[in-house]
Chains A and B, each alone.
Chain A
Amino acid sequence: GDSVTQMEGPVTLSEEAFLTINCTYTATGYPSLFWYVQYPGEGLQLLLKATKADDKGSNKGFEATYRKETTSFHLEKGSVQVSDSAVYFCALTLYNNNDMRFGAGTRLTVKP
């Protein structure tokens, strides 16, 4: 079935370090891809999305490029801040399906 697999955490970085969180997907059609972020004690918030191959989603310094050839949607940020500490979820959905499939989440901790 349709699914996403993301790198296991937790990930601990120092402030201003480069961040990559890997995400790969399996889908029978052409999915839309998403990154959601969950800050402590809150619900998930959409961080960025891409709806077709080669699209790049970006927001708040985070970027991810929809790579059809490698079925990937890796999340990157050039310089993380303490305030980026959260759990990050990769997700996909197909246009004719009302079910969004989430990865297991990757916990990021950024230390000063």
Chain B
Amino acid sequence: NAGVTQTPKFQVLKTGQSMTLQCAQDMNHNSMYWYRQDPGMGLRLIYYSASEGTTDKGEVPNGYNVSRLNKREFSLRLESAAPSQTSVYFCASSNGRVQEKLFFGSGTQLSVL
């Protein structure tokens, strides 16, 4: 049982480049989330999708776009990467609302030079 799978695990970008982080879950969960983790700041919610076909902004959405491709997949896109987006990105899913248990992927470490 893979749980939540994120790709890639590591990525280095130059300022202005674009990329998409992929996330897939095999638990038939309705809700999916993207967080970023920065030193001394814990995790902050970028976007979430409460169900297939819906997406909503979280605490720090600027500079990002998301797509809930189907129930399994939720991607995060950086259209024009900036050094301030250097972070560790985590995808998570839950069966219902966030108050239910969150299942996290192992993260993507992104560096923007």
Residues of A participating in the B interface, judged by any CB pair closer than 8 Å: 32, 36, 41-46, 49, 51, 89, 91, 93, 95, 97-105
Q: Which of B16-75 contact A (CB under 8 A)?
A: 31, 40-45, 48, 50, 56, 58-59
Residues of A within 8 A of B84 (CB): none
Name A42's closest neighbour in chain B (CB-CB).
B106
Q: How far is B106's CA from A36's CA once the two chains are assembled, in angstroms?
A: 14
Alpha-carbon distance between A99 and B48 when the two chains are bound, in angstroms = 8
Taking the nearest CB of chain A, how far is it from the CB of B107, in angstroms? 6
Beta-carbon contacts under 8 Å, B62-113 to A: 90, 92, 97-99, 101-102, 104-107
Give chain B residues whose Cβ lies under 8 Å from the Cβ of A32.
99
CB-defined contacts of A104 to chain B, threshold 8 Å: 40-42
Question: In terms of DSSP, what is the predominant structure of the interface of chain B?
Answer: loop
From the candidates A42, A44, A93, A98, name the one contacting B31 in the complex (CB within 8 A): A98
The 9 sampled A-B contact pairs (Cβ below 8 Å) are A36-B102, A44-B90, A44-B92, A93-B98, A97-B98, A98-B48, A100-B45, A100-B98, A102-B44
Instruction: Contact check, A103 vs B56: say whether CB atoms are below 8 A apart.
Output: no
Given known contacts A99-B59, A99-B98, what 4 new A-B pairs fall within 8 Å (CB)?
A41-B106, A43-B4, A44-B43, A93-B98
List B residues at the A interface (Cβ < 8 Å): 4, 31, 40-45, 48, 50, 56, 58-59, 90, 92, 97-99, 101-102, 104-107
Contact B40 A93 (CB under 8 A): no
In the assembled complex, how far is the CB of residue B87 from the closest CB belonging to chain A, in whole angstroms? 14
Q: How far is the CB of A31 from chain B (nearest CB, A)?
A: 9
Name the B residues within 8 Å of A100 (CB-CB).
43, 45, 98, 102
Say which residue of B44, B58, B104 sits within 8 Å of A45 (CB atoms): B104
